[in-house]
Amino acid sequence: MKSLTLGVEEEFMLVDRGSRAPVNRAPAVLRAARPALGEQVQTEYYDAQVEICTRPAAHSEDTREQLARLRRVVGAAAEAAGCLLVAAGTPAVPPAEPLTVTDTRRYQLMARRYAPPRNPAYTGLVCGCHVHVGSLRRDQALRLANHMRPWLPVLQSLAANSPFSLREDTGFDSWRAVEHARWPTVGPPPVLDERRYRDIVGALIGAGVILDDRMVYWHARPSEHVPTLEVRIADANADLDVVVLLAALVRGLAVALLPEAESHAPPPNAPYSRLLLAHRLAAAQGIGGVGLDPESGEEQPAERLVYRLVERAAPGLERAGDLTRVEDLWRRLRTNGNGAARQRAVLRQRGSLEGVVDALAAMTAGP
């Protein structure tokens, strides 16, 4: 059974220490953090966001240590700029000033072509967590995505962490999933081989639907800048344990399914419409409701589906030495609730969304 490395990208909001609203201070934060972190800290679409990227690791403990260090350094840079680093899928408190798009040619072109609705209260600000497994050639990554796609809604459900948006309880556990879907190509990946992938991406670029191959935003895609499969279904999570659980499960599932993918076995029969519904249920209900069984398509309690995911990924988790860690972290998550449940609990306790933002910032910073 082949070993795969693990990498994580996390997107964060920068919020003002006083108002707890997103603020355009990424340039100052990046200037302060880059001497220590170099290209491991990067711009994102808005100047109210930053992204961190781990280096490929063989062990999930290494990934955890990298993430903790990256968060500490960027958090200190944010503090020096008068703001807090917050990991959540959407902003609970609306910005007090218009958010500016990062001043790069690509982001400015994206802003002109895919402008959000003309509503001052609407931002479209979302933050996700992306997991990379590698190294894989593009044809290998595509075959693996074909086999992993029915399981992606289950992963999404445990990482849901965006119930609030602009002072409203959306009724969803992951409102980020709804907001993010306005971008072209966001959704379940189609079943593709390399030739079909090139044809479809070329057609999308040629028709002006997307700018370039980096705008292929399927929930699982071959990365265009590193030799990996990138899984893009999770909200940003303040709790580092949730991030490590997600990353280990993605890598464990990939290792477990890779022999089937490499043998050219037919991928599971998972109609696109069923996957759309499964992702919608995951976004709406997280682990507290129902989901769709990856094999039969029947409704099942979402928690039961996570147990089935751990069972399916077990050979890969054992290979990486992650099985006990994952069982432990899943037990803790099941007891404490996902990020959305925790945010709602904080609101009940503290009585304000500013209190929710403070709790998220404290957890993002770590002990």
Helix (H, G, I), strand (E, B) or coil at 333: helix
CB atoms within 10 A of CB 82: 13
pLDDT of residue 330: 98
- How long is the chain? 367
Q: What is the CATH number of domain 5-365?
A: 3.30.590.20
Nearest to 342 by CA among 273, 241, 248: 241
Residue 99: phi and psi, rounded to 5, are -80, 140
Which residues in the chain show pLDDT less than 70?
Answer: 116-122
**What confidence score (pLDDT) does residue 117 get?**
59
**Helix intervals (H) in 229-338:** 240-262, 272-285, 302-320, 323-336
Q: Which residues, listed in sequence order, are joined to residue 235 by a DSSP beta bridge?
A: 128
Within 10 Å of residue 185's Cβ, how many Cβ atoms? 17
How many angstroms separate the CA atoms of 342 and 87, rounded?
13
Residue 275 neighbours by CB under 8 Å, 6+ apart = 149, 150, 152, 153, 188
| Cα torsion 177, 130, 367, 362: sign | negative
* CA distance linking residue 188 with residue 292, whole number of Å: 14
Q: What does the pLDDT read at residue 122? A: 61
Query: What's the token pair of residue 54?
Result: 């781990």
E-state strands within 17-99? 41-43, 49-53, 83-86
* Partners of 15 in the β-ladder: 22, 84
Neighbours of 356 (CB within 10 A): 25
pLDDT at 119: 54
The encoded tokens of residue 325 equal: 């860690």
Comparing C-alpha atoms, which of 26, 194, 18, 202 is closest to residue 107? Answer: 26
pTM: 0.97
Quick one: DSSP state of residue 128? E
Predicted local distance difference test score (pLDDT) of residue 114: 85
How far is Cα 50 from Cα 34, in angstroms, rounded to an integer? 12
| Strand partners of residue 10 | 52, 129
What single-letter amino acid sits at 97?
E
CB within 8 Å of 272: residues ≥ 6 apart:
188, 190
According to the model, what pLDDT value does residue 124 have? 86
CA distance 41 to 67: 11
pLDDT for 343: 98
